[in-house]
Amino acid sequence: MSASSDSASSHLDRRTFLKGASTLGLGVALNSSALISGESPAAKPRRRRYAIVGNGSRSVMYQTAIEKDFRDHAELVALCDLNPGRLALAQARSQQLGGTPPPTFIAADFERMIATTKPDFVIVTTIDGTHDDYIVRAMDAGCDVISEKPLTTTPEKCRRIVDARRRTGRTCRVTFNLRYSPPCTQVKELLMSGEIGDILSVDLHWMLNTRHGADYFRRWHGHKENSGGLMVHKATHHFDLVNWWLGAVPESVFATGKRDFYTPKMARRMGLSGPQERCRTCPESSRCTFYIDLAKDPTLKALYLDHEKHDGYFRDRCIFRPSIDIEDTMNVLVRYQTGTTLAYSLNAFNSWEGYTIAFNGTKGRLEHSIGAPKPGGQPVSGAARIALIPLRGPAREIEPWTGVGSHQGGDKVMLEDLFLPSPAPDKYLRSADERAGAASALIGMAANRCFETGQLVRIKELVPGLSDPTYAPMPSRDAPVPMPGAASA
């Protein structure tokens, strides 16, 4: 992503914003009661102060939580981005949510933002390759951090974060929302119960379809410098789930990866003349089923198309272009310190989207999946299945826990854990910090290194001296195991 607007310093104060918003035709009306707090400071406990850096798609969830759902406990005090257009949009959103539009700061003014608006927390929702920069700068300026996944994209950046955390004593939370999705939490509950004993191996296969999967190749994610590739950007979710499900720390990684579908050659094999720059100017758009029209989608238009002029970021780049340097086909073997092994695959060009996982335990097997191909019909996205199969005995289908909203309802539960002043105690220990962020992202980084060298990679060699994450207690690997099928078993 280009940083062309970096020098155009623009601390948009409220007056500038209102002027700008009306120029943009956002129809913002000055509501004096919204601008003047009538509450006595003693009437309520002080609300926590948040600043958001990176005001793209994902930030909307946090902004809505702070300014709407958790407004009694939280206050949005500043917005920061490279792109002044998206900053103005976020201010307008603030008004729509009933908040007081906070001041905005262009990225170069990040430290000034912290000094003048004094946030307790900085929420980092910039592109992945820049997380470390804002995490470290926020901690050095005395703030705690909430970072989107992945924690970061390279071992060097990971070391910077770990050092800053130790140096400053600040906290860094990493928002692994999938831990909170009801069926994923239910799997954790079943594994903790010991019903299938302790886990010796895991098979996880993750599928992205040719709509969602292709999107990663259009956007900034298509370059490892920005995203760490799908091994880091996407698989950090999956590796974190397995780490947390097992309550185990990864030790070594072996992997192969390639780009075999989203390639210039595939464009030609599909009958196109070859890759183009972007959908918007593509002469073959009528023959390409990957074509998207940013102008026709109000959300994409408002977030990206309307603000291209500020940073040169095209949200509709050709998915077949040669400069892409991330993989679409990846196979990984992970060995944990406990001895448990994981076989994982990620394919970004599948006919259905979701995953299948099997935990092979000393007393049986747990099978779980999200999404399913439906014979004769469209695949059912999001449909959850959980089954327990003892070593010798009938399989048992388990009714999956359900939730409402994005990520099977996981985002909602996570936001409560994040923004309520006294969240409920959590026996699953779903709240994650930089140690868990590192443990999962480093598997992806190790896989990336393995793609280049063909050699097994030890996690400890990437970032020496890492502390282990804290996990809930899991079944012992030394406890007696019943004889399979014996009467007393």
Ligand X SMILES: NC(=O)c1ccc[n+]([C@@H]2O[C@H](COP(=O)([O-])OP(=O)(O)OC[C@H]3O[C@@H](n4cnc5c(N)ncnc54)[C@H](O)[C@@H]3O)[C@@H](O)[C@H]2O)c1
- Site residues (CB under 6 A) for ligand X? 1, 53-59, 81-83, 86, 107, 125-128, 130, 148-149, 177, 220, 233
Cβ-based neighbours of 412, under 8 Å, separated by 6 or more: 403, 404, 405, 406
Q: Smallest distance, Å, CB 103 to ligand X?
A: 15
**Nearest CB to ligand X, comparing residues 74 and 303:** 303
C-beta of 199 vs 438, nearer to ligand X: 438
Nearer to ligand X, 312 or 464 (CB): 312
Phi and psi angles of residue 233, each rounded to the nearest 5 degrees, phi first: -55, -50
Q: Which of 128, 60, 83, 81 is nearest to 313 (CA)?
A: 83
**Rounded distance between C-alpha atoms, residue 164 and residue 179, angstroms:** 26
- Least Å distance, CB 155 to ligand X, is 18
- Least distance (Å) from ligand X to the CB of residue 407? 6
| Residue 220 beta carbon to ligand X: minimum distance, rounded to whole angstroms | 6
SS (H, E, C) 359-370: EEECCEEEEEEE
Closer residue to ligand X in complex, CB, 126/340: 126
Closest separation between CB of residue 434 and ligand X, Å?
15
Shorter beta-carbon distance to ligand X: residue 248 or 414? 414
Q: Cβ closer to ligand X: 57 or 256?
A: 57
The least distance separating ligand X from the CB of residue 90, rounded to whole angstroms, comes to: 9
Q: Which residue's CB is nearer to ligand X, number 127 or number 249?
A: 127
Cβ 268 to ligand X shortest distance, Å: 29
Q: Which residue is nearest to ligand X (CB)?
A: 56
CB of 340 to ligand X, least distance (A): 25
Nearer to ligand X among residue 199 and residue 294 (C-beta): 294
